[in-house]
Each structure stands twice: as C-alpha cells, then as structure tokens.
Chain A
C-alpha cells in the first residue's frame, strides 16, 4: 500500500481520556491496510477500522512525545502519544490518506471476505425481500397497485424500481406529479395499515414557489385520499420548520397550498435540517467529552447542544403519523425538502409505532431496507464513506437509531431486538465492511454491483440472533398494537451506551439486561433438570421392584445439586454476555475489543483474532 509509510511504531502510549491519572498503557501501534491496531503490554488489542476514522489531529509536541488524537464515527476517541515526531507524522499522514477514499472500489467491503462461498453470499442478499414485505402489508389490493413507471429509473433516479401508488393514479398523472416534485420524488406509498385502510406516503417538496400549481400532483393527492375509504381528508406533513419551508419558496420550491388541494390538512412539524443536526451532535460530543464527569454542567450542556430536543421533534412527528392513522383512519403524506432524510426518519418511526412486526428483529431490518436503503437515503454522503463534501455529512440515521432506542427504553417489553443490535447496525453503517449501506440510492447500488462484489450485513444479525435479542420481549403484550410514547422532555435521556460505548471506565457495572439473560438461562437449566428427574422417576415407577429408598438415592445421584443453584450471580453473568468467539470471527471490524466481550475477556483470555489481520498483513507486504 502506497499510503503506509510506517507499519509499526513501538513504545506508543494510549491515554484514557476520562482518567486524570498520568498512567497510560504502553504498547505497539501497527498500521495495516484496513485497520489501525494497538497491542498493549497486556496483549490486549485495540482495532480501529480506517473507515471509522472521522478525524485525526496532531497536537502540540510534549516531553513524552507527539500526541495523536483520533476521533471515530462510532464515537470512539483514542489518544496516542508517539515518542518520535517523525513516526507520528508518518502515521498521521497515512491515516489521513487511508481514512478518506476517493473511489467506492477502494472501500473495505470490496476486499472483505468472511470466508463464505458464492451461494452463501447470494443467500445473504436474499434474506430480506421487499416484495414480500408489501405482500405482508396486504398489497396490492383494490385501492393500491404496483406501478412500473420507475422500472428503469426514468422518472426518479433516487427511488426504487418498485413503487406502490393508488390504483386510480394513471401513468401521466404520476409523470406529471414527478415533474412538480423536487428530484422527481413524487408521492408513493411507504406503509399500508391494513386494519385502518390508511397509508403513510412519502415524497419531496413541491416546486410550488409562490403560486405555481400542478393539476397532476393535485390529482395524485386526491387519488391517495380516495384510496383511503374511512377518511376523505388526508394529512400532508411537512417535517421542516415553517420558516425553512417558506424560505424555500423563493427558490421555486416550497410546500402545498391548502387552497389548491381540496382534500388536505397541512401541518408543519419543525424538524431541523441536516446542518443543524450535524452541529448539534458536535456540541453533544463536546459536552460528553469533557464535562461528562461533573454533574454540575452536564445537564445544561446537554440542553444547549439541543440534541435531545431534535430527537423529541422527530418522535413527535412520528407520533403524529401514528395518531392520524389509528384515531382518524386518515392517510398521511410526509415530505421534507428532498424526502430522504427527515421523511425517512418520520415514515420509518411512524411505521414502527404502528406495526408490531417492525419491532421484531427481522421486521426492523426490513424497515431499514425499505424506508432507508430502497427509498434512497444518501448513506454514503451522510456517513462520509468517501472523501466528499463535509457539508453533506449528517447524523440522520444515528438519530433514527436513537429514537428507536428511546422507544425501547420507554417500552422495554415491546421490542424483540436489544440495544446491542442498534449499536451493531450503527457500527456497520459507517464501517463500509458490508455492501448494504454503500451508495446513495438503489440505482447507484446496482451500478456498483454490490450484490456481486460485497457481502450483506443481515446474515450477521439474523443467523445468530442470540446477542441481539431482548429477553424482556413479550410479543403478546397489549402494546402489540400501536405504541404511544410519552415525549415530555424529561423522558429523553443521554444515550450513554452509544456515545460512550468505547469509554469502558464509564460503563455501568451491572445491567438489568444481563441479569435477565442470566435468569432465563437459569430457568432453562432448571426446567431441564426437572424433566430429567421426572423421566427418571417414571422409569423407576416402571421398575416395580425398586423400593422407595433406592429411588431417592438414585435421584440424588442423577444431579447432586444443580450447578446453576450454586453459581452466584456475579460470576455467572459474565459468561452470558453477548460476544462469543463466533461472532467476532465473522464480524471482523472490531474483533478483539468488541465492547460486549470485555467482561468475558477478563475471565478467559480472548483468542487471537484470525480475521483480517492475516489479510491485512498480506496486503501490506505486497
């Protein structure tokens, strides 16, 4: 690799940013083609994927050496001190090059090989099927049909090929409407609620300016409300703040005029744009970086970052959608500016509130596949996969995950998946290790031939589900219907496990989740013992000659004492934490110091990671 000047630097110090102690871990820093690797004197490995690196900073030279601070997209911050300035400079320059690729083909996904054969790769990409998903919703039906208008991405490049529209909307109407919508993103169905016969639809802003009209667009909206038998009105939700939407009119864009559309109720919900969100996250990270340690300015810092306020705004909008459908059986059309950021957030969260299927692990992945990937959320630009315009980067998807996390906190029993699942998805949205999130829309993904050249993330989450399952999940709970979260401000809290996921010193010592997993395991063991014993008993009864005393002795000898009864909780819980060896070997991205395996490691030394190191070294030497 031409970018790597130094492959190994010794006597590097790793500082803990939350410890005031000057004591630091000393070890060796390796630079591979894909990862930055630090092995400390205890042989503990810290792996950092180059694609995860958001920024590298060289600080002023100190007596101990040259400090190098690396900030990652998964909120890991590492602080190295390199003894020689020249080494530091080399590493710095290499990382700058390696973390910003210019071409998709240079991303890790195109070289990552999890030792699967071609059919396994194919299977991974076929795990989720959106056609199946629309069938599950009950589509097509008498009111909605599959349109082939965008079969060749002719009407809208950023939409998927398969789109559902009202049956009475003819092709000329669709074409006409698409010309009146920003980027051609005309109103299409995102979610269909079978019981209420109402739909969540999505589009981009109309090119209405101050007075422009489009009859086809008006027809299409009418068609949507006609496809909703229970309510002749429909809601049009503009997720932007009113001022922003009004400002857009000057540029020939804007929002629907209620006078021109006979059947709509128009509503702004005031979610800020990607730039505001980006700077809000930046402020949040500053707050938790330094002030996280004092109770005194933590809360006001959190407040001034505005982050939780934005999360609340997104959730409020989703609740609006859910209520409109459940209470009034009205369809809702959602848009923002281009209909791929705020619209994706609101539509997917609205569906999540309405449909318990999306609260299962599989359903949740389908939801991401549908509302985010297929409808063209610009993952590559928003996550900065390639060296591009930094103004296009924004934590829109992270916000979505955080909204889901808040829902799981409010309704601990309503979701089949757990926090680890959300964190894992977040990890790989940025890792560029799997093809799922590469590119900015379906058309681009097809052009990149991702399904032939890369692997899918979904098998990792679906094949061994155990680490990602929520033990509290009660599918038959009454909340199986729509969720009604409470969005009063004090129900929003800082997501420590996301923004501090790598700051081990700040992790809780004990989580209810682990205790429950442990308890479930214990129950299973006891049940097994019980059936064993009962079958033994029956056997004994059949042997009519045996006397009672003997039976008892025999029973006692079966299992003198259940091991689960003996093991005390504090030791047991460690072994049950998600993060087994199998997971680590497939995953590859952060193999050795996977955050869930930390505790387990303390008891059993982790095996050396076979993944990608070998590969990385191989690439490095050539």
Chain B
C-alpha cells in the first residue's frame, strides 16, 4: 500500500466509452518517436530538444526527458518516458497529457539560475539571458516547469519567446480556432469519434440535439415547451440591425409591437431591450433587461415594459424587479475573490496554510459569493413559484450577473435544465446568445482588466446544488469540470466571442459547438431513469395534483415558503432549493484541487462511491432491458445498448469486482506531472517524519495529569 509501485501502463481515455468499445482507438498506429500530435491546421512554431520536465520540486529523480514544442495551438512536451507514480492516465481527445493550450496559459516565468535572474515574459518582449528554467502558470490552476540544462541555450530562449508571443495574441483572428480546419469535429451531426453528439446520447439524446437558439424555431419551441402564452418570438434584430449584443431572435411580450420595440430600444444601454428567458407553468415569466440610459425616460419606459409583462401574465400579476447591481457582488469583487482562491489553492505552500486553512478559505470570500448568488436566485424562485409574480432581472448591461442568476433560477425550477441536453441549451440561451462576453471574461486576448470568472461561479453554484441533490441531475461533477475546461480550449466557437454578432462577423465559416460534443460517458449515475424526467409542461405533470401547500400560496412570507418547502419531501422533478447555511456551501474540490498532488486521496474519495453507484445503475439498466426483451417490448432504444450506459459498467449481475486501483479523489484528472510544492519522494516514513506537522501545545499545561 505505501510502497512505491512502478507505474502501470493502464491507458484509458475518460472522454471515450470504456475500452470494450474503443478498439478503434487502440488499434491506431502508435505515435512516432517524439513527433508532436497535431490537429488539422496546427503548425509547430518552435521546438527545443533535451528538455527536462520537472515532476517534483526538490529532486530531479523523476524528471522526464523530451522535446518541448510550441505550436499555434498549444505547448506540448513529447517524451517516451512513462509518467512516474501514476496508475491512471488522463487523456483528452484534443490534448496530450503534457499539453497546455495557449489560451490556458496565465503567466510565463523564465529563470536563469547562474545569473540569478527571473523574468515574467509578456508578448514581444526581449529576453536578455538564456533561460535555464521555464515555469508556466495555467489558468486551470496547474503549474508546469521545464529545465533547459542540457538543451541548446538559443533554441530554449526561442521557444520561451515563442510561447510568450503566441499565448498572448492581440487579435481575435490569431486564435487557433480560426486556423483549425478539422473535419473530424467540424459540424459533425451524427458522431464525434464514435461518441454520439448532441444531448449526450442516452434514450433522450438520439433525436434531441442541443438547441443553439440561433434560429426562430429554437426560440419558438422553447416558448411552447414552457407553455408561455402572451409571448412571441420577434425578429427585429435579424442581421443584428438593432443591437449587436442581442441574439437575432428573442422573445418579447405579445402586446409590444415591433415598432414599439424599435423605439424603446434606444433607451436601453447597448439597445438591450427586455427579453424573455423562461416561463413558469403558473404563467409567471423570467425576463432580463439592461438599465434605461436616460433617467428622465426611465420611469415611462419602465412603466410600459412592466405593463406589457403584466399583460402577458395569465393572471395579470405584478412584476417584481430585481436590481442585481445593488444586491450582488460586482465582477471586480468576484474576480478578486477568485484570485485569492487561486492563491490559496495553488501558490501557497500547504505547510503554511494548513493551520489557517479554513479562515483563509473564508477570507477569499469565494464561497460567500457563491452563496450570495444561490440565495438571491432562490429568493427569486419564491417570487415566481409562490408569489406567482413575473421577475425582471435588471443589470446595467444585463450581460454578466443576469446570466448567472437567470440560469440558476431555471436550474432550480425546471427539471429539463438538469438534463445534459437541457443544461447545454440553457448555457446556449442564457450565456452564449444572451451576449455574455466570453472573450473578455475568459481573457483570451490579454486585456486583463475585464477578466472575471462568472461562468465558473455559475458552474460552482450548480455543483453546490448537485452536491445537495445528487439524483436531480443527469450530469456529474466531472461534466461540469470538463465544461469549465472547454472554455480554455480555443477550438470551438462557443466560448470565444463577446456576442453572437461578433461570432458571425468574425467567422466566415460556421463553428462546431462545444456543447454538442459532450459524450455520454460524463453522465451522472445518480439520476433516476430518464424516462421519468417529465418536461415541465407535459401532461404528466399537469395531471398530478398540486401539492396542498401550493393552494394558499399567495400571502405566505418567503421564510415560511422556504421552511415549508424544506419540511416536505423533495420532488426531484420539481423545484429544488439550495440549503445555504455555513456547512452546506463547500469548496468544489474536484475543480480546484485536481492538479494538487498533496490533495489526492489514493483509492478513495467520492469517485469510489460513484464507481459503485455506476455499476449498480448499469446493472439496473441492463436488467430492465433484458426484462423488456423477454416481454417482447423491445423498442428502438435497445438497438443501441451502449449509448446511454454508464462509464463504469458492471460485468454482469452481482458484479463483485472491487474498486479499480487507479481511482483517486481527483479522477479522471491526474495531478502527477503537475509541479508540486512538496516532495512526493523519499520513504514514506521518512517523509512523514520530516513533513508531518507536530502541533505544539499552546494550551495550558496545568491540567495535564
């Protein structure tokens, strides 16, 4: 157990279905010696040989030898050496184990030991010394370090400069997505490398692709799905004639004519007039809008809009307006919290933070902000669900905080958005099409003052819900982490642009969407059978008698609403509300600690429970399918038995095979190879003796007997 076993050549791809089905991949010719694996359109810019990749911070014993290349897409370290101390190899279809996409690089530091010099490299900078060491800090909390002791000094320097140059482009057109000409991933409707695209496969997925809300019909379908009456799809923004940060089609109150809208639009910042997000089955609608520029006009315009929204409500209920700028932390504060969190998780040695871990975590304020968004969203859920009021989210530009709040409300209220297809359509609807400035917020182009991790904050908040209601979601936390990672892979257009207009303007070809490539293997095993996930307005739900507490809901206070909701049994296909007390808002360890070797629990962690759970879910699935076959009820779904299955599959009923030994708390990611701050070496006992913290007694000794 504690011995250092030689690494085992287990080679599994977490993005693909498990080995029994991916013979195709295994039989592909082996990668040639120290040749980079390039994507179509990718070119090598610079390379240097005899580079050492550091594995531990205080010894070179485990270092890997190889070649470092910089391409227009990634930096790649190519080696023949097997990774030490690692049982599981994380493989991404696009990126090798040692690859870092250029857009994921946060900071590049070059060091010269002999001259004791160090320089943070920006684009187009000169380097006056030959680097002996290159340290790359990544946006996803990784740190990679290379040594150039044996490599040619000039070529080492050139590679460093190339990385600095290409990782910090000044123009959008320089991003790799514009070079990428891959056909493999491009607009492939049916399958991506054998993995079904669209809603993640499964019984729902085959005929249901993620709606991208680029067309009239997608919006129209969404209006019909939610049963919204009094709302219509309007196409006045076709060709982005009105606003460049609104989608071409959006939904407005039926009582507002196109002509009115055109006039109103001038009053709003960015001409972002109110647009509909979602409707509750009781008729209350969720609407987002920007602030009215002109203070004098404000009241009149507001009044008109509110009247129109009221008219669209079947009960003519009032409108509840929520000014997000006043109630929630602003993006600068959120960014500051995130920077502190990163500092805590990545940069500081654990020996120093250990004793003060909890208060340091609290001081970052990250959890506080996650909680604030969840709390505010839950309160607005109360307005929609219980008070039956339409809710208008107001924000200066309406493109940042409203994205988070609007999506969270819908995740809490509508079970459809807790499926993979639904969640992806939600991101497409409330983020991509609603004009969340991904380009600025992800900082793909090094204009750092606009950077803010709002999308991550949203995923974190969803994770909190997932943590509290594990069976309410179709996807798993790995899915959320991979979704977050995909914002840093500049291959697909989804997370590259500031607005749908920019995307259309900048591109002459259509991009495939990240959201269409999510494989079924990221499915959450906890969810109950998909057949039972009714759409919000489907007949099944309407025929169900309303729970009694809903009848006299008009005058109840918010607190009572929450108390009653929490004291009745959960309906996973209905509303879910987060618990917000201190112990419930937790740190998303998989996301923030997956690259930290010290944080790993070998052969433990939640993943081992998930493994067992997957086997059980799979067993249930296989058995019910067999049952159906016996009954002659074989339907089309059974024709593709592998599509909806879990990543971990049982070999048969009563599968007693134990937990695979490559599992660790950071699975499917592996932190080995990421630079760690403390040695992972030495005999375990000596390490323990030297590294273990001995708590000094600070308390009085008087009582010791």
Instruction: Give me the interface of A with B, judged by CB distance under 8 Å.
Output: 18-21, 240-244, 247-248, 267-270, 272-273, 275-276, 288, 291-300, 302-304, 308-309, 313, 316, 319-320, 323-324, 326-328, 337-338, 391, 410-414, 471-472, 474-486, 488-491, 493-494, 496, 500, 504-506, 508-512, 515-516, 519-520, 522-523, 526-527, 529-530, 533-534, 537, 552, 555-556, 562, 565, 568-571, 574, 599, 602
Is B258 an interface position by the 8 A CB rule?
no
Q: Which residues of B contact A471 (CB under 8 A)?
A: 612
Query: Taking CB as reference atom, which chain B residue is nearest A246?
Result: B701
- Nearest 10 A/B pairs, CB to CB: A298-B582, A477-B658, A241-B697, A303-B358, A569-B528, A412-B609, A526-B623, A275-B703, A489-B357, A300-B359
Q: Which residues of A contact B656 (CB under 8 A)?
A: 474, 476
B549 to chain A, nearest CB (A): 13
CA distance A562 to B696 in the complex (A): 62
Q: Across the interface, do B354 and A512 meet the contact criterion of CB distance under 8 Å? A: no
Identify the stretch in B164-172, B380-388, B572-580 within 8 Å (CB) of chain A at 4 or more residues: B572-580
Is B605 an interface position by the 8 A CB rule?
yes
Query: Taking CB as reference atom, which chain A residue is nearest B605?
Result: A410
A-B contact pairs, 15 of them (CB 8 A): A21-B559, A242-B694, A244-B697, A296-B582, A304-B359, A327-B2, A412-B605, A413-B611, A475-B658, A477-B658, A478-B603, A510-B468, A516-B613, A526-B623, A570-B569
Q: Which residues of A contact B563 (CB under 8 A)?
A: 19, 21, 505
Q: Across the interface, do A482 and B1 meet the contact criterion of CB distance under 8 Å? A: yes
CA distance A294 to B586 in the complex (A): 13
Q: Across the interface, do B603 and A479 meet the contact criterion of CB distance under 8 Å? A: yes
Q: Across the interface, do B362 and A337 meet the contact criterion of CB distance under 8 Å? A: no
Identify the stretch in B11-19, B70-78, B268-276, B684-692 within 8 Å (CB) of chain A at 4 or more residues: B684-692
Q: Across the interface, do A485 and B659 meet the contact criterion of CB distance under 8 Å? A: no
Is B604 an interface position by the 8 A CB rule?
yes
Q: Across the interface, do B684 and A570 meet the contact criterion of CB distance under 8 Å? A: no
Q: Across the interface, do A20 and B559 meet the contact criterion of CB distance under 8 Å? A: yes
Q: Across the interface, do B704 and A247 meet the contact criterion of CB distance under 8 Å? A: yes
Q: Which residues of A contact B354 (CB under 8 A)?
A: 488-489
Q: Across the interface, do B657 and A269 meet the contact criterion of CB distance under 8 Å? A: no
Is B482 an interface position by the 8 A CB rule?
no
- Interface residue from A410, A508, A512, A565 paired with B579 (Cβ < 8 Å): A508
Q: Across the interface, do B560 and A320 meet the contact criterion of CB distance under 8 Å? A: no
Q: Across the interface, do B582 and A413 meet the contact criterion of CB distance under 8 Å? A: no
Is B593 an interface position by the 8 A CB rule?
yes
Interface residues in B26-80 by Cβ distance below 8 A to A read: none
Identify the stretch in B135-143, B233-241, B307-315, B614-622 within 8 Å (CB) of chain A at 4 or more residues: B614-622
Q: Which residues of A contact B683 (CB under 8 A)?
A: 327
Query: Taking CB as reference atom, which chain B residue is nearest A240?
Result: B704
- Interface residue from B586, B603, B697 paired with A411 (Cβ < 8 Å): B603
Identify the stretch in B393-401, B488-496, B502-510, B594-602 within 8 Å (CB) of chain A at 4 or more residues: B594-602
A413 and B659 in contact (CB under 8 A), knowing A268-B694, A337-B704, A509-B570?
Answer: yes
Is B343 an interface position by the 8 A CB rule?
no
Q: Across the interface, do A537 and B367 meet the contact criterion of CB distance under 8 Å? A: no
Instruction: Give me the interface of B with A, judged by CB distance under 8 Å.
Output: 1-3, 350, 353-359, 361-362, 367-368, 371, 468-472, 526, 528-529, 532, 559-560, 563, 566-573, 576, 579-587, 589, 593, 598-606, 608-609, 611-613, 616-617, 619-620, 623-624, 626-627, 630-632, 653, 656-659, 661, 665, 683-685, 688-689, 692-697, 699, 701, 703-705
Q: Which residues of A contact B688 (CB under 8 A)?
A: 319-320, 323
Q: Across the interface, do B608 and A243 meet the contact criterion of CB distance under 8 Å? A: no
Q: Across the interface, do A510 and B580 meet the contact criterion of CB distance under 8 Å? A: no
Q: Which residues of A contact B568 (CB under 8 A)?
A: 602
CA distance A485 to B608 in the complex (A): 14
CA distance A590 to B696 in the complex (A): 41
Q: Across the interface, do A569 and B572 meet the contact criterion of CB distance under 8 Å? A: yes
A519 and B605 in contact (CB under 8 A), knowing A272-B699, A490-B599?
Answer: no
Q: Across the interface, do A599 and B616 meet the contact criterion of CB distance under 8 Å? A: no
Interface centre among A269, A297, A302, A410, by most chain B C-beta atoms within 10 angstroms, is: A410
Q: Across the interface, do A313 and B695 meet the contact criterion of CB distance under 8 Å? A: yes
- Interface residue from A243, A303, A526 paired with B620 (Cβ < 8 Å): A526
A493 to chain B, nearest CB (A): 8
Query: Taking CB as reference atom, which chain A residue is nearest B344?
Result: A490
Q: Across the interface, do A270 and B582 meet the contact criterion of CB distance under 8 Å? A: no
Q: Which residues of B contact A510 (CB under 8 A)?
A: 468-472, 570, 572
- Interface residue from B355, B587, B601, B689 paired with A410 (Cβ < 8 Å): B601
A472 and B612 in contact (CB under 8 A), knowing A552-B632, A555-B630?
Answer: yes
Q: Across the interface, do A411 and B604 meet the contact criterion of CB distance under 8 Å? A: yes
B126 to chain A, nearest CB (A): 41
- Interface residue from B581, B617, B623, B630 paired with A537 (Cβ < 8 Å): B630
- Interface residue from A304, A478, A533 paired with B661 (Cβ < 8 Å): A478
Q: Which residues of A contact B584 (CB under 8 A)?
A: 508
CA distance A293 to B361 in the complex (A): 17
Q: Which residues of A contact B665 (CB under 8 A)?
A: 410, 486
Q: Which residues of B contact A562 (CB under 8 A)?
A: 624, 627
B611 to chain A, nearest CB (A): 8
CA distance A493 to B586 in the complex (A): 10
Query: Taking CB as reference atom, which chain B residue is nearest A267?
Result: B689
- Interface residue from B2, B359, B608, B695 paired with A270 (Cβ < 8 Å): B695
B380 to chain A, nearest CB (A): 19
Q: Across the interface, do B582 and A599 meet the contact criterion of CB distance under 8 Å? A: no
Q: Across the interface, do A295 and B367 meet the contact criterion of CB distance under 8 Å? A: yes
Q: Across the interface, do A295 and B571 meet the contact criterion of CB distance under 8 Å? A: no
Q: Which residues of A contact B2 (CB under 8 A)?
A: 323, 326-327, 482, 484
Query: Taking CB as reference atom, which chain B residue is nearest A515?
Result: B471
CA distance A20 to B703 in the complex (A): 40
Query: Known contacts A316-B692, A568-B532; can you find 19 more A-B pairs with CB under 8 A?
Result: A241-B694, A294-B582, A299-B582, A411-B601, A412-B605, A476-B657, A477-B608, A485-B604, A486-B600, A489-B358, A510-B469, A510-B472, A510-B572, A516-B613, A523-B623, A526-B623, A530-B623, A568-B573, A570-B572
Q: Across the interface, do B371 and A295 meet the contact criterion of CB distance under 8 Å? A: yes
Q: Across the interface, do A509 and B631 meet the contact criterion of CB distance under 8 Å? A: no
Q: Which residues of A contact B580 (CB under 8 A)?
A: 295
- Interface residue from B532, B616, B701, B705 paired with A516 (Cβ < 8 Å): B616
- Interface residue from A292, A414, A508 paired with B604 (Cβ < 8 Å): A414
A465 to chain B, nearest CB (A): 18
Q: Across the interface, do A479 and B604 meet the contact criterion of CB distance under 8 Å? A: yes
B493 to chain A, nearest CB (A): 37
CA distance A534 to B602 in the complex (A): 42
CA distance A414 to B663 in the complex (A): 13
Q: Which residues of B contact A309 (CB under 8 A)?
A: 355, 695
Q: Across the interface, do A295 and B601 meet the contact criterion of CB distance under 8 Å? A: no
Interface centre among A268, A295, A476, A529, by most chain B C-beta atoms within 10 angstroms, is: A295
Query: Taking CB as reference atom, which chain A residue is nearest B359?
Result: A300
CA distance A522 to B656 in the complex (A): 17
A300 and B358 in contact (CB under 8 A), knowing A248-B704, A505-B567?
Answer: yes
Q: Which residues of B contact A328 (CB under 8 A)?
A: 685
A512 and B582 in contact (CB under 8 A), knowing A20-B559, A243-B697, A410-B605?
Answer: no
CA distance A95 to B260 in the complex (A): 74
Query: Taking CB as reference atom, which chain A residue is nearest B571?
Result: A570
Q: Which residues of A contact B359 (CB under 8 A)?
A: 299-300, 303-304
Q: Which residues of B contact A292 (CB under 8 A)?
A: 581-583
Q: Across the interface, do A530 and B630 meet the contact criterion of CB distance under 8 Å? A: yes
CA distance A283 to B685 in the complex (A): 34
Q: Across the interface, do B623 and A295 meet the contact criterion of CB distance under 8 Å? A: no
Q: Which residues of A contact B684 (CB under 8 A)?
A: 323, 327
- Interface residue from A18, A297, A512 paired with B362 (Cβ < 8 Å): A297
Query: Taking CB as reference atom, which chain B residue is nearest A354?
Result: B1
Q: Which residues of A contact B570 (CB under 8 A)?
A: 509-510, 570
Q: Across the interface, do A523 and B631 meet the contact criterion of CB distance under 8 Å? A: no
Q: Across the interface, do A241 and B658 meet the contact criterion of CB distance under 8 Å? A: no
Q: Across the interface, do A413 and B609 meet the contact criterion of CB distance under 8 Å? A: yes
A570 and B573 in contact (CB under 8 A), knowing A243-B696, A410-B604?
Answer: yes
CA distance A241 to B704 in the complex (A): 11
Q: Which residues of A contact B616 (CB under 8 A)?
A: 516, 519-520, 523
